[in-house]
Chains A and B, each alone.
Chain A
Amino acid sequence: MSVLVIADHNNSVLNVATLSSITAANQLSDDVDVLVAGKNCQAVADSVSKISGIKSVLICDNDVCEAQLAENIAPLVHQLAEKYSYILSAATTTGKNLMPRVAALLDVAQISDIISIESEDTFKRPFYAGNVIATVQSTDTKTVITVRSTAFSAAISTDTAAPIETIAAPSDSGLSKLVSEELTKSERPELTAADVVISGGRGLGNKENFKIIEDLADSLGAAIGASRAAVDAGFVPNDYQVGQTGKIVAPKLYIAVGISGAIQHLAGMKDSQVIVAINKDADAPIFQATDYGIVGDLFKIVPELIEALNNR
C-alpha cells in the first residue's frame, strides 16, 4: 500500500496545503512519495524532501510541466499511478482541476475534500455545503482523493532529506496553453493559513468602505476574506471569497463584519476555533454560528476595535 501525493506549488514555493495532504497520506501508509512537476522547481523538491514521513520525491522538471496544465500532468500521474494504491492532492484549485482528470484516466471514482480517514477504504467528507457529513467507502482498486487542508495538521520538516528521483517529461498534449496570470499581491498572511481572518460582507456597502477591514486586519496581523456578496459587488477580488465554493478556512480567530451568514458562507469558516460577528441585524443567521457577537453599526464598532487594539 503506497501513496503518491501531488505537490501544489508555483515552481518556487510549496503551497502549505500540501503539508496537510502528506499528513493524510501518512495516516494511510508509511510508504509515501511526492511528485513535484513543474519547471525550475528544484527548490520545491528540496524542501519537500525534508518533510517528515516521505520516502522519496519524484521531480519532473521541464517546459511541458511549467504551467502545470491538467492536460499534461494527468497523463504523467496516470503513468506513475501503476505502483500506488492512493493518489492524493490538496483540495486547492490546482488539485481540484487535476485530480478528476487523473481519476477518469484510471477509471476510478474520486473522493473529494476528505475531512477524515476512517479505514483504508472509508473516508468522511462534507456535502450539501457541510450541512451533512457523508461516510463513503471506495470499491475501486485505486483511490483518488483530494484533502481538505483545514482537517489535517501540517506535516513537519526534519533534518534528513529523502532521495530525489528525476522523472522524464511527459509529451505536450497540445490541448491547452497558458496565456497569462493575474495574481493578487498582498503582504498579509495567506488566507487559508492565517491565524486570524477578518472577513467583510455586503454590510460594508462599497469598495471604499472595505478599507476599514484592511485597517482591522493590519491591527491583528490578519488575512482578509469576504463573503460572496462582497466579491460579486466588486469590493474585493475573487480569491478573497470564503465559503462552499471559495476558500475553506479554520483560523484561531475569524471575525465576520457585515456578513449575514448564508449557509454557503458558513460552510467555509465554521470550523474556525473562535468566531466573532459584528452585524447591525440581531437576527442575522451569522450569530447562530458565533462565539461572541456584537449587534450594532460596524462603521462605529470597527474603528473602536482598531483604536483599542492599536493602543494596547
Chain B
Amino acid sequence: MKILVPIKRVVDYNVRVRPTTDQTAVEISNAKMSMNPFDEIAVEEAIRLKEAGIASEVVVASFGVKQCQETIRTALAMGADRGIHVETDVDLQPLSVAKLLKAIVDNENPRIVILGKQAIDDDANQTGQMLASLLNWGQGTFACGINVESETVVVTREIDGGTQTLSLKLPAVITTDLRLNEPRYAKLPDIMKAKKKPLESFSPEDLNVDISPRLKLLEVSEPPKREAGVIVADVVELLDKLRNEAKVI
C-alpha cells in the first residue's frame, strides 16, 4: 500500500511574524522556515505504517518555491522513500493545492493520503477536506488514532465534545491532529542518505492544473494591542481589582 504525504514549508512555529511596513504581506524574508508541524506528524505516521509492514512506500509532495525541496529532504531523512516537488512562485491557496494533489493522486494511486489538519501560517484547515471532495473519497479529519484494515481505515478524531471514531472505505484522506504521535528527529546518517533519495520536479502546467488564486490579500495588519496589565501583590488585591475595577466577578 502506497501512502502519499503532502507537506508544507512554513515559517517556523517559534517565529513571531509581523506585517510588512506597507501592510500588504507578512514579513517572512529572513524568517526561519520549517516543515508545518502537523505535516511532520503525518510523515511520522506514514513511516510508522511502513515500519509496521502495512505501507509499502511513503511518497512526500511539496508545492511552492525551490526551497520546498529542503522540506522534502527533511521528510526523506525521517524515512520517506521519495519526493515530488511542484515548483511555482504563485501564492498557492488551499483549493489550488488540493487540485495539484488530485493530479498527483491520479498519477500515483496511493491508498491513503495523510496530511496535517492545518498549516500554521494561513491556519485555513481546508486542504485535506478539499482533496477528499475532489477525489470523492472518505475523510478522517483531526485524527488522533489510525487503524488500517484491509478494505477500511478506522480513524479516531478529536472533536469539540471529545472524540469520534469513523470507519472509512479505502482509499481515504486523513488529516492529523497534535496527539496522533510524536515525530522523530532525523539522524545524521539518514540526513546524508536522504540526499540520494529520488526527488522529481514538475511545474503546475505539467500537471495541467489551474492554480490562479481566488482570494486577494488586500491588507495585513497587527491585531489590536492589549493595554499593559499590572502585577498584584496577593489574592486580596486581585479580588479587589476583579470586583471593583474590572467588575467581572
- Interface positions of A (Cβ within 8 A of B): 10, 15, 69-71, 74, 92-94, 96-105, 107-113, 122, 126-140, 173-184, 192, 196, 220, 228, 231-232, 237-239, 244-245, 247, 252-253, 263-264, 270, 273-276, 282, 287-295, 301, 304-305, 308-309
With beta carbons under 8 angstroms apart, the residue of B130, B216, B242 that contacts A101 is B130
**Quick one: which of A112, A128, A174, A263 has the most chain B CB within 10 A?**
A128
Q: Are B94 and A100 in contact (CB under 8 A)?
A: yes
* Dominant secondary structure at the A interface: mixed
**How many A-B contacts at CB < 8 Å in the complex?**
256
- Which residue of A132, A139, A182, A294 is within 8 Å of B220 (Cβ)? A132
Complex CA distance for A107 and B96, rounded to whole angstroms: 10
Which of B140, B166, B246 gathers the greatest number of chain A CB atoms within 10 Å? B166
Q: Chain B interface (Cβ within 8 Å of chain A)?
A: 11, 13, 16-19, 26, 38, 93-95, 98, 117-118, 120-134, 136-142, 144, 154, 157-169, 172, 177-179, 214-223, 226-232, 234-236, 238-239, 241-242, 246, 248-249
Known: A110-B124, A130-B223. A136 touches B129 (CB 8 A): no
Contact: B160 with A220, CB < 8 Å? Answer: no
Q: Is the CB of B216 within 8 A of A136?
A: yes
With both beta carbons as reference points, the residue of chain A lying nearest to B210 in the complex is identified as: A107
A292: which B residues are within 8 A, CB to CB? 229-232, 238, 241-242, 246
Q: In the complex the two chains form, is A179's CB within 8 Å of B165's CB? A: yes
Whether A101 and B235, one on each chain, are in contact in the complex, defined by CB atoms closer than 8 angstroms, is no
- Are the C-beta atoms of B218 and A122 separated by less than 8 Å? yes
Q: Are B229 and A275 in contact (CB under 8 A)?
A: yes
A-B contact pairs, 6 of them (CB 8 A): A112-B124, A127-B123, A133-B223, A135-B219, A276-B238, A305-B238
Q: B236 → chain A, closest Cβ, in Å?
A: 7
12 further A-B pairs in the complex, CB-CB below 8 A; given A139-B215, A305-B235, A308-B239? A101-B133, A122-B218, A128-B123, A135-B219, A140-B214, A192-B160, A196-B249, A239-B161, A282-B231, A291-B230, A291-B246, A294-B235
What's the least CB distance linking A211 to chain B, in Å?
A: 19
Given A112-B124, A179-B166, CB of A71 within 8 Å of CB of B138: yes
The reply to whether A134 and B219 contact each other, CB–CB distance below 8 Å, is yes
Assess the A184–B161 pair: CB atoms within 8 A: yes
Bound-complex Cα distance A179 to B220 (A)? 43
Residues from chain A with a CB closer than 8 A to the CB of B118 are: 245
Q: Which of A111, A132, A291 has the most CB of B within 10 A?
A: A132
Residues in chain A near residue B159, CB distance under 8 A: 93-94, 181, 239
Given the contacts A100-B130, A110-B124, A129-B120, A183 and B139 also touching, CB distance less than 8 Å: no
